[in-house]
Amino acid sequence: MWYGKPRLASSPGAPDRLVAAQSQGALGMRVYDVGSGMLHETAHSEAVGDVEDMAVTPDGRSVITANGGNYYHQRWRLSDLTEETQYDTGPYPNSVAVDSHGTVAAGIVAGGEWDVRIYRPGETAAYRTVALSPGYADLLDRGVAWAPDGNRLFTTRFP
């Protein structure tokens, strides 16, 4: 049962999988097989919820979530929604994007601090940090996206 509009994500690496997660303070994430044209639930967890943003890895094996109540982004295995790892990003994660090579951009609401951290595939220590601007210009929810070739990262902020 969905208590609001769920966040949805998929990946070309697993075109028959759809991931749906609760947002707006509720708990629950589900993975569906949609290959037959019907929804068939393959995994479910109440350990995940209040998801601001999420991105499925290019191989279709994991999903990375941004939950504003944590001080880290989480990576979950799609086969059973077991937590695989955490990316220590700082306060109030609100956005995430994964490029076609598996590079992770993890964004937080930091008020002009290091707003985005970049992680190489398979690593949980950021190799690059990006401050969008001085002062209090916050990264917007779901505010990071990679160019299709992975050579550029786009962000949106307020004001």
- Residue-wise pLDDT for 82-141, tens only, equals 999 999 998 889 999 999 999 999 999 875 567 899 999 999 999 999 887 666 678 888
According to the model, what pLDDT value does residue 134 have? 63
According to the model, what pLDDT value does residue 115 have? 85
Q: What is the CA radius of gyration of the chain?
A: 15
- Residue-wise pLDDT for 23-36, tens only, equals 877 789 999 999 99
- Residue-wise pLDDT for 35-69, tens only, equals 999 999 999 999 887 899 999 999 999 999 999 88
According to the model, what pLDDT value does residue 45 have? 94
Highest-confidence segment of 4-8, 20-24, 34-38: 34-38
